[in-house]
Amino acid sequence: MDMPTTTKKKLGIKEKYALMTRGLDWETTYQPMDKVFPYAKFEGIKIHDWDKWEDPFRLTMDAYWKYQAEKERKLYAILDAFNQNNGHLGITDARYVNTLKLFLNGISPLEYMAHRGFAHVGRQFPGVGPRVACQMQSLDEMRHAQTQIHSMSNYNRYYNGFHSFPEMLQKVWYMSVPRSFFDDAYTSGPFEFMVAIGFSFEYVLTNLLFVPFVSGAAYNGDMGAMTFGFSAQSDEARHMTLGLECIRFMLEQDPDNIPIVQKWIDKWTWRGIRVLTLVAMMMDYMLPKKVMSWKEAWEIYFEENATALFNDLARYGIKMPDCAKQALIDKEHISHQAWATFYQYSAVSNFHGWLPSSEEMDWLSAKYPDTFDQYYRPRFEHWAKEAAEGRRFYNTTLPQLCQVCQIPMIFTEPTDPTQICYRESEFEGDKYHFCSDHCKNIFDDEPEKYVQAWLPVQQIYQGNCFMPDADPTKPDFNPIEEVLRYYNLQNGRDNMDYVGSEDEANFRAWRQTSTQN
Amino acid sequence: MPVKAIKDYPLRVADSVDKFHGNIMLFVGWDQHLMFCAPFAWALPPAMRFGDLIEGIFPASFGAHPDFALIDWSKVEWLKSGKPWAPDVNKSLAENGLGHKDCLRFRTPGLCGIKGSGS
């Protein structure tokens, strides 16, 4: 039989889109749809008509490959040039490299988890529209993990602390903060995952993560990290529209969905804000050349943008999460509290800690006129004096952690910056502790989930964070050294103060040989 | 509220007392001394004398603070789960009613951190 020759040679964009997305779906007959999509209903979200889903971006897979391949070519050309020209010697100062360690260890593996999460929900939604969109986002997230790892791998040849990031994500104490955030989202149902990651993180909070890191890279001469940021930007725009469409769709499908969605927005905005504490300290303390203060970033990207967003969502009956009120107060404090934490625990961290210089403290005073001099400068000046007298302060006792965000209990009462905020719940005869009302509320809503938290401090004390050959009964057993060995953290190289580190000495020497004979 | 799940959701407590080899976890924070960024956590034998906690454990953990040497322990005010509490230093942790994951705070009147800043 001859092939018909009169058909159109090329499909129109609209036709092609319809065939390659919606046209791929079918109603199953051998198995009931409820068995094919077993996760679609248990969360209580009611969807009556999946066809009402409006595809937020009309992209087919073939076009997707084409765009992404073009972006990859540009990115890797720039990365090659940066690496071959020893671009790392052009950064402001090797302290900057520690922000990359934080990113590679704490953020890039989350991109990979986002890939897994979106692949999972991209399988589980009964509607084909969100399924296709989630599959594309899943591929984006994989690409982000890869490009970030590639662009930072060059630093691994010259600097300490980059060598074992996948392993460290599973083991190092503070890594349980970003890891548990994503594990929490990933182990929820598909709708909660979309509110958690698709909306709360990718829409409400994403600028607070990426703008500081990418601008920080640009300000500090790191063209490699800057370029992966730009290469991810158009993907991020797509992710934001997907997150928002998902919220709109759930809210329009059934009024019973509104309280469930509101609860998830409240929970995940707070979970995200707590994780962003790491970004806050990065902006205020770790960038040698600073972009803006955390407080300023918060005001622009949360207070202005999110207020406008929640005003828009008001017509659906959604309101700004209550936790925003506490975040408004906390913006004056969290960066200082977090950096003070990493400074004192830098013997057990995989990046360096250091004290702000007197010029940097003046910058902090100017940016935080209501809090820095009163509450935080005395602490840093005291440590500077101690360090100058040969007593650099290393805290070697393990801290109490919040059961939900897993951050040490470093945060203060919203009404009193000199008082640690203690909250407590009892469940099935055991006590649980929290850093805030919002973390306590999250626990109280689903205690069975959070009693499983792998809290690093509790795990160390149970003896679960030593190598198999470690013998705690030996008289010379040093628990801290043994925990570092378990972390695969090179004691004396990856950790401790930046001043006196190999990174500092090497950077100085290499920069000198690159500019002088 | 119970977790919404597609099947039975067993209770898996990751830090129940039976996992600590006979010890209990105890958390202690020193109010207005935020140079120590968070309260401390220890796993301790419940038979330990409360006074040994102060004399044997605290110095290595809190001793770096210039106020520590100035503490008059007879005047220290204790809180347990946020409520006033009075320990007997010669009794054990268990005899003082301390159980797994109890949280204590102490206040040292007149000592308010570095330059009175609460640090």
Measure in Å the smallest separation between the Cα of B63 and chain A Cα atoms: 10
Q: Please give the average per-residue pLDDT across A398-411, as a whole number.
A: 98
Amino acid symbol at A435: C
Q: Which pLDDT band, with edges at 50, 70 and 90, does B64 fall under?
A: very high
How far B86 CA sits from the closest chain A CA (Å)?
19
- Counting one residue from A and one from B, how many pairs have CB atoms under 8 Å apart? 157
Helix H, strand E, coil C: the string for A152-168 is HHHHHCCCCCCCCHHHH
Q: How far is CA B118 from CA A339, B60, B87, in A?
A: 17, 20, 24
Query: Among A408, A432, A449, whose Cβ lies nearest the Cβ of B3?
Result: A449
Q: Where are the domains of chain A?
A: 58-515
Tokens of B69: 């040497």
Instruction: Please check whether residue A424 touches B, CB under 8 A.
Output: yes
Is the pLDDT reported for residue A1 higher than 60? no
Sign of CA dihedral A125, A127, A133, A139: positive
What is the per-residue pLDDT across B7-38, written as a single tens digit (0 to 9) for each? 999 999 999 999 999 999 999 999 999 999 99
- The two tokens of residue B56 are 């044997």
| Residue B8 is assigned to a structural domain of this protein | no
As for how many domains chain B has, the answer is 1
Q: What is the pLDDT of residue A233?
A: 84
Summary mean pLDDT of chain A: 94
Would you call B31 and A419 a contact, using CB atoms and an 8 Å cutoff?
A: yes
Task: For residue A200, give both structure tokens.
Answer: 């709360």
Residue A15 has pLDDT above 70, yes or no: yes
Overall size of chain B counted in residues: 119
**Cβ(A129)–Cβ(A22) under 8 Å?**
yes
* Whether pLDDT at A378 is above 80: yes
What does the pLDDT average to over A255-274?
97
Greater model confidence, A48 or A234 = A48
pLDDT tier at A5 (50, 70, 90 boundaries)?
A: low
Q: What percent of chain A has pLDDT over 90?
A: 84
B95 pLDDT band, cuts 50/70/90, is very high
Q: What is the pLDDT of residues A469-516, one digit of tens each?
A: 999 889 889 999 999 999 999 999 999 999 999 999 999 999 999 888
pLDDT of residue A7: 59
Please report which residue ranges of A157-276 form alpha helices under DSSP H: 165-171, 176-186, 190-193, 206-219, 223-253, 257-275
Locate all alpha helices (DSSP H) within A302-374, ordered by sequence: 305-313, 323-330, 334-344, 358-367
The correct CATH number of A58-515 out of 1.10.620.20, 3.40.50.2300, 3.40.50.300, 3.30.2350.10 is 1.10.620.20
Percentage of chain A with pLDDT > 70?
Answer: 98
SS3 A281: helix
- Residue B1's pLDDT is 60
CATH at residue B30: 3.10.20.560
Subunit contact B119:A420, Cβ cutoff 8 A: no
Condensed to tens digits (0 to 9), the pLDDT of residues A361-375 reads: 999 999 999 999 999
Query: Which of B1, B15, B39 has its CB closest to that of A446?
Result: B1
Residue A113 to residue A184: CA distance in whole angstroms: 11
Q: How far apart are the C-alpha atoms of A293 and A303, rounded to whole Å?
A: 14
Please check whether residue A450 is in contact with residue A457, taking contact to mean a CB–CB distance below 8 angstroms: no
The answer to whether residue B5 is domain-embedded is no
* pLDDT tens track for B67-90: 999 999 999 999 999 999 999 999
Model pLDDT, residue A210: 84
Residue A2 has what pLDDT? 64
pLDDT of the residue at A54: 86
A353 touches chain B (CB under 8 A): no
Say what the pLDDT of residue A517 is. 79
Break chain A down into helix, strand, coil percent, rounded to 5.
Answer: 65, 5, 30
Closest residue of chain A to B16, computed from CA coordinates: A430
Three-class SS of residue A80?
A: helix
Minimal Cβ distance to A448: which of B9, B19, B64:
B9
A81-99 average pLDDT score: 95
Given a cut of 90, whether residue A206 has pLDDT beyond it is no
Instruction: Give the closest-approach CA distance of A420 to chain B in angstroms.
Output: 7
B63 in any annotated domain: yes
Instruction: State how far the Cα of A164 lies from the Cα of A500, in Å rounded to an integer.
Output: 23
List the single residue in B with minimal CA-CA distance to A450: B13
Which residues in chain A are contacts of B42 at CB distance < 8 A?
Answer: 397-398, 461
Kindly calculate the radius of gyration of chain B based on its CA atoms and give it in whole angstroms: 17
Dump pLDDT digits (tens) for A298-351. 999 999 999 999 999 999 999 999 999 999 999 999 999 999 999 999 999 999
What's the domain range around B38?
18-116
Query: Hey, are the CB atoms on B41 and A448 less than 8 Å from each other?
Result: no
Which residue bears the tokens 């470690």?
A470
Task: Give the 3-state DSSP-derived string for chain B, with helices as H, strands as E and coil as C.
Answer: CCCCCCCCCCCCCCCCHHHCCCCEEEEEEECCCCCCCCCEEEEECCCCEHHHHHHHHHHHHHCCCCCHHHCCHHHCEEEECCEEECCCCCCECCCCCCCCCEEEEEECCCCCCHHHCCC
- Residue A496: count other Cβ atoms within 10 Å of its Cβ: 20
Mean pLDDT of A202-218: 90
Considering only CA atoms, which of A504, A512, A511, A505 is closest in space to residue A98? A504
Task: State the pLDDT at residue A11.
Answer: 83
Minimal Cα distance from B21: which residue of A?
A462
pLDDT value of residue A4: 61
Higher pLDDT, A194 or A18: A194
pLDDT band, residue A60 (cuts 50/70/90): confident
A373 touches chain B (CB under 8 A): no
B29: Cβ contacts below 8 Å, ≥ 6 apart: A400, A409, A420, A422, B36, B38, B39, B40, B103, B104, B105, B106
